[in-house]
Amino acid sequence: MEKTIKLKYPTYLKEFECIGGKCKDSCCIGWDIDIDKTTFRQYYKVEDKEMKRMFQKNVHNNEYYLSPDVDYGKVKLKSGKRCAFLDEENYCIIYSRIGEKYLSNVCTSFPRITNMVDGYYEMSLDVACPEAARILLLKEEGIKFKESEETLGKHIVSSDIETTSTEYSNSPIKYFKEIRDLSIKIIQNRKFDLSQRLYILGDFISKLEKELKHKYNNVPTFIKQYNINSVNDSYKKNRSSYTFQIDFFKTMLGFLNVSKEVDSLSFKEYTKQIIAGFKFDKGEDISKHSELYTKAFEDYTENFMNNNSHIFENYLVNFMYNYMFPFNESESMFDGYIMLLVRSSFIRFYLVGRYLYNDQDNKEDIVEFIQTFSKTIEHHRTYLTDSLNHIKEHKFDNMEFAKKLL
């Protein structure tokens, strides 16, 4: 049922249209397909006899469902983890035979991500979708936002925050909008390079957490008076940090357990390439190749990251908007920051490893990798939890560690 809503969204949203069977990495392959309760019941009332037989054969109850609006039922997957309703040319049989109204909430929504903040719906796109990634990451002018009244049909609300609620009267979530707005402003400030922006963001979040402990009601003033320009003077890049990153992300690779826990053939191939590029397959100590690593990071940053900085900026901004930064991991804002930084630096680690292997790159391949990375990482069963636990256990949740990842 459609309703009129107040919507905030990045302007790229209006450009998106699913390309169906032309998609290189279909969302109907490799993932569980969830069916909400309303759609589940629709399937058993459908008049098309052939479709009714298909539904009875391929859709079943999910006894462990978390929400009736999301995963009340599931679709049985065929070999290669293909949705049972995907035809040989990767087009949806449900959509083509009986229409869009019979698609589940999940199938209708993806790659749109919908949140609610103070009565406004916020909608954006997930870079796990190749077409969405292409549209939003390649915006050289950056991501812009606007508001309007729109008609909204089937959807799933991922997060719902009412900042004026008494529930948040003593929580930093009370200031969520102000915090996220300045965070995005920092990342979009092209006066600084990306590493500088990420350092400034960390400084802001770190100092804000201290402010919350001592002068809670002074937070709006602190945010208004925070001087982005004064912070950058205290950050200097250390060449030796690249070797530290190689060692750290080699551990992160272990958490991913690519051979057993990752289905994406593309991501498996990327991983083979970086293992060869970084010479991990030689079984040698990382320090032996430290100069090779350092030069590769510096060359890649100069030739590819700096020339395509809008791609990485847009990835960060879109993530922050989608996942309610800095509360994307927990109520700890610094957890949100450090995991954003880990994602960003892990992307660079993979791209540099591929550069060592291929000795080339281009913006289309960068976008394709970020899409594959996001689809793999954000939907991995344990990686994000294991990574944050590892960071906390080793007391890496601080700005000294952050500097080493920049």
CA distance 184 to 4: 28
Contact 372, 267 (CB under 8 A): yes
The structure tokens listed for 230 are: 């004064």
The model's pLDDT over 152-193, given as tens digits with 9 standing for 90+, comes to 888 899 999 999 999 998 889 999 999 999 999 999 999 999
Mean pLDDT (whole number) for 305-316: 97
pLDDT at 153: 84
Mean pLDDT (whole number) for 2-15: 93
Dihedral sign of CA atoms 232, 234, 235, 237 in order? positive
Mean pLDDT (whole number) for 24-35: 90
Q: Categorize the per-residue pLDDT at 15 as very low, low, confident or very high, splitting at 50, 70 and 90.
A: very high
H or E stretch covering 82: strand 82-83
Q: What is the 3-state secondary structure (H, E, C) of 179-247?
A: HHHHHHHHHCCCCCCHHHHHHHHHHHHHHHHHHHHHCHHHHHHHHHHCCHHHHHHHCCCCCCHHHHHHH
**CB-neighbour burial class of residue 329 (10 A; exposed 0-12, middle 13-18, buried 19+):** buried
> Max CA-CA distance within the chain?
70
What is the residue whose two structure tokens read 């990798």? 369
Task: Answer whether residue 148 shows pLDDT above 90.
Answer: yes
CA distances in angstroms from 82 to 97, 103, 258, 368, listed in the order given: 18, 16, 20, 21
Q: How many residues appear in the chain?
A: 406
Strands 120-125 and 3-10 turn out to be: parallel
pLDDT at 83: 94
- CA 92 to chain centroid, in Å, comes to 25
